[in-house]
Amino acid sequence: MPLEQLPSSSSSKTDMELMRAIHSVNPYEGFDTTGFRYDAQGWNSERQVFKDLIDQVCPQLIIEIGSWKGASAIFMGEYLRQKKSSCLILCVDTWLGGLDSWQDPKNSIRYTALKLKQGYPALYYQFLFNVIDRRLTDRIIPFPQTSIIASRWLKQNRVEADLIYIDGSHDEEDVYLDLVHYLELVKKGGVLFGDDYGDAATGVKAAVDRFAGERSLAVEMKEDQFWVISKE
């Protein structure tokens, strides 16, 4: 199916250019939906803070680091559609899970949801199905890469975003590196934010506080779990 005939929410030439710069073949094209059902399980994925930051920043591009089954990207995508915004969402994820996904094979959410096929996660296909099901294929662009390699690609291609949501690996050193690489990619006046700031079991708070402290940046806390850093 040609790109232009895919289920459409909103589109501009720039949207198509970004998609084509990453994918020579549209990843939604020819997807076999047999056997899938909509399952967008996530964590804190439908919080008001997403809508508030979209209203505040009026983004043209959102980058999400860590998308899992797509719940937070779909929540933002549906809100953007409702607002008749042409904003795109670039979803960067390996779709291989973080350390937490591999720690307990009995964990029915974090491990089982990886849907291992011959030992390799098929989680990505659930993400694609969910986006197709919600008719957001021309707004949500998957970038199946590590956050760090994707940040290099974005810098090389001079892509900057108004809003960047960091929700990938939750280990302190990884979060710290995501902050280092992605604050650079936020446009002036834009916002970098993330989840799990209030969860002591993760390294998120330590990383955010260290990063912000070293650069004398203000960190706002929203809805008990979200940290927000604005770029002047």
Ligand X SMILES: C[S@@+](CC[C@H](N)C(=O)[O-])C[C@H]1O[C@@H](n2cnc3c(N)ncnc32)[C@H](O)[C@@H]1O
User: Mapping DSSP to helix (H, G, I), strand (E, B) and coil, where does residue 191 land?
Assistant: strand
CA distance 214 to 201: 23
Give 66 or 190: the residue with its C-beta nearer to ligand X.
66
Establish if 147 lies at the interface with ligand X (CB under 6 A). Answer: yes
Closest residue to ligand X, based on beta-carbon distance: 42
Q: In this structure, what is the dihedral angle of CA atoms 115, 120, 124, 129, given to the nearest 10 degrees?
A: -50
- How many residues touch ligand X under the rule CB under 6 A: the total is 21
> Smallest gap, in angstroms, from Cβ of residue 5 to ligand X?
28
| List 9, 26, 94, 130, residue binding ligand X (CB under 6 A) | 94
| Angstrom distances, CA of residue 189 to CA of 44, 59, 222, 231 | 25, 10, 18, 5
Establish if 194 lies at the interface with ligand X (CB under 6 A). Answer: no
CA distance 51 to 226: 13
CA distance 106 to 109: 9
Q: How would you classify the pairing of strands 120-121 and 116-117?
A: antiparallel
Give 100 or 160: the residue with its C-beta nearer to ligand X.
100
Contact segment (CB under 6 A) with ligand X among 4-12, 21-29, 52-60, 66-74 equals 66-74
| List 50, 53, 59, 95, residue binding ligand X (CB under 6 A) | 95
Q: Residue 165 has which token pair? A: 């949501």
Contact segment (CB under 6 A) with ligand X among 11-19, 164-172, 181-189, 206-214 equals 164-172
Establish if 93 lies at the interface with ligand X (CB under 6 A). Answer: yes
Q: Which residues bind ligand X (CB under 6 A)?
A: 42-43, 45, 66-68, 71-72, 92-98, 146-147, 167-169, 174
